[in-house]
A and B are shown apart, each in its own frame.
Chain A
Amino acid sequence: MTLPDTIPILGLGWDDLLFLTFAAIMIGSALLVVLMRDIIRCGLAMIIAFAALAGLYVFAGSPVVAAAQVLVYIGAISVLVLFAIMLTQTKAGPASLVFQTQAFPAAIAAAVLALLIAVAVAATDWSETGQLFQTTAENLGKELFANFTLPFEVVSVLLLAAVIGGVFLAKRERGGAG
Chain B
Amino acid sequence: MLSFLDNVSQSLDAYLILAGLLFSIGAFGFLARRNAISMLMSIELMLNAVNLAVIAFGAFTPGLREAASVIALIVMGAAAAEATVGLAIVIAIYRNRKTPLVDEYDAMRQ
A: residues with CB less than 8 A from B are 10-13, 15-16, 18-20, 23, 26-27, 30-31, 33-34, 39, 42-43, 46, 49-50, 53, 56-57, 59-62, 64-65, 68-69, 72-73, 76-77, 80-81, 83-85, 87-88, 90, 93, 96-100, 102-103, 106-107, 109-111, 113-114, 117-118, 121-122, 126, 129-133, 135, 139-140, 142-144, 147-148, 151-152, 155-156, 158-159, 161-163, 165-170, 178
Q: Which of B76-100 contact A (CB under 8 A)?
A: 76-85, 87-92, 94-95, 98-100
Contact B34 A99 (CB under 8 A): yes
Shortest Cβ distance from residue A168 to the other chain B in the assembled complex, whole angstroms: 8
| A106 and B32 contact, CB distance less than 8 A | yes
Which among A56, A77, A111, A169 is the interface contact of B89 at CB below 8 angstroms?
A: A169
Q: Interface on B for A, CB 8 Å cutoff?
A: 1-3, 5-18, 20-29, 31-38, 40-42, 44-45, 48, 51-52, 55-56, 58-62, 65-70, 72-74, 76-85, 87-92, 94-95, 98-101, 103
Chain A, Cβ-Cβ closest to B42: A34
B76 near A16 (CB under 8 angstroms)?
no
CB atoms of A102 and B37 under 8 A apart: no
Beta-carbon contact of B38 and A27 below 8 Å:
no
Q: Taking the nearest CB of chain B, how far is it from the CB of A51, in angstroms?
A: 11
Which residue among A60, A61, A155, A165 has the maximum number of chain B CB atoms within 10 Å of its CB?
A: A60
Which residues from B are CB-within-8-Å of A163? 84
